[in-house]
Chains A and B, each alone.
Chain A
Amino acid sequence: GENVGLHLPTLSVQEGDNSIINCAYSNSASDYFIWYKQESGKGPQFIIDIRSNMDKRQGQRVTVLLNKTVKHLSLQIAATQPGDSAVYFCAETLQGAQKLVFGQGTRLTINP
Chain B
Amino acid sequence: EADIYQTPRYLVIGTGKKITLECSQTMGHDKMYWYQQDPGMELHLIHYSYGVNSTEKGDLSSESTVSRIRTEHFPLTLESARPSHTSQYLCASSVMVTGELFFGEGSRLTVL
A interface with B by C-beta (< 8 Å): 1, 31-32, 34, 41-46, 49, 87, 89, 93, 95, 97-105, 107
Contact = CB atoms under 8 A, between A and B. Distances in A.
Classify the interface of chain A: helix, strand, loop or mixed.
Answer: loop
Nearest to A48: B100
A93 B36 CA distance: 18
Interface residues of B, number: 24
Contacts of A46: 100-102
Nearest to A43: B103
Nearest to A44: B103
Contacts of A97: 97
A107 B26 CA distance: 31
Nearest to B31: A98
A43 B105 contact: yes
Given A32-B98, A43-B90, A99-B58, A104 B42 contact: yes
A95 B48 CA distance: 16
A89 B103 contact: no
Contacts of B98: 31-32, 93, 95
A31 B43 CA distance: 20
B106 A43 contact: yes
A33 to B, nearest CB: 10
18 contacts: A32-B98, A44-B101, A44-B103, A46-B100, A49-B100, A87-B40, A95-B98, A98-B48, A99-B48, A99-B58, A100-B45, A100-B97, A101-B59, A102-B43, A102-B44, A105-B40, A105-B41, A105-B42
A89 to B, nearest CB: 7
Interface string B75-112: 00000000000000010100001111111111000000
Contacts of A1: 59
Nearest to A94: B98
Contacts of B101: 34, 44, 46, 100
